[in-house]
Structure 1
Amino acid sequence: MARVNPAQFVQQVRAEAAKVVWPTRKETLITTVMVFVMATIAATFFFTVDQIIAYGVEQILLLGR
């Protein structure tokens, strides 16, 4: 790997940073809302599955009485 002096490195970093396409405020807001919605859906799903499994385990353990 070729060694680059610090000045060239900084120049290359700035050139790469200039290529970055930043999202608009609207895109960021929509993405943030979607993350919260999906996290809520996932949490609700896993809570429901956990409750069903806990109920099933409880019923199996009650058979041993």
Structure 2
Amino acid sequence: MASFNPFQFIQEVRQETSKVTWPTWKEVWITTIMVLIMVFMAAIFFMVVDQIMGWAVNFVLRLGR
């Protein structure tokens, strides 16, 4: 089994993180706004679908009375 050297590990991690292309603040804000818009749209969609299904279930249950 290979031995573990924490100092070598830290050095390798630093080398790999230096290769990463980090997003700019503008890209972060745009992406954040896009995610919030998509979450809002998904919430509205599921609220509408839930209301429609609730009405359908109530309609079917009322038929049995």
TM-score (norm 2): 0.90
- Distance in 2, Cα, partners of 1:46 & 1:3: 52
Q: Is residue 63 of structure 1 aligned with residue 42 of structure 2?
A: no
Which structure 2 residue ranges, 5 or more long, are not aligned? none
**Matched-pair identity in %:** 55
RMSD between aligned residues: 1.2
Aligned residues: 65
1:19 Cα shift? 1.0
- Matching residue of 2:32: 32
Q: Letter of the aligned partner of 2:2 in structure 1?
A: A
Distance in 2 between the 1:57 and 1:37 partners? 30
Alignment of 1:14-53 (within 5 A): 14-53=14-53
AA aligned opposite 2:7: A
Distance (whole Å) between structure 1 residues aligned to residue 64 and residue 6 of structure 2: 73
In structure 1, give the amino acid aligned to 2:48.
Answer: T
Question: Unpaired segments of 5 or more residues in structure 1?
Answer: none
Given the two structures, how large is their TM-score scaled by the length of structure 1?
A: 0.90
**Post-superposition shift, 1:4?**
3.9
